[in-house]
Amino acid sequence: MLLKEAIANRIEQLCTERAITPYALARICGIDTSTIYSILGTKSNRPEVATIKKICDGLEITIAEFFDTETFNSLEQEIK
């Protein structure tokens, strides 16, 4: 799994846990809905850390909590 896919999966997981849509997430976080859908889709290959931080702030979690999953811990290094 690539980092971009892991980030998208984590956002979807957090939305499911909170029973909110990506649209609602964008509103909560003060982010354009197109940004959220770009991260979840194929348009955004490298979401910015600042955007992930805004998502974390909106969900009232730390950035460490966002990345503290087995998926992120087991990602292989992406060399390009």
CB atoms within 10 A of CB 79: 4
The structural domains of the chain, with segments of one domain joined by +, span 3-71
Residues (pLDDT < 50) of the chain are none
The identity of residue 31, as a single letter, is I
Q: Does domain 3-71 have CATH number 1.20.1600.10?
A: no
Please report the pLDDT score of residue 80 as a whole number: 61
CB atoms within 10 A of CB 25: 21
Where does residue 24 fall: left (phi above 0), alpha (psi -120 to 50 degrees), or beta otherwise? alpha
Please report the pLDDT score of residue 78 as a whole number: 72
The model's pTM is 0.88
Q: Give the model confidence (pLDDT) of 66-76 as tens digits.
A: 999 999 888 88
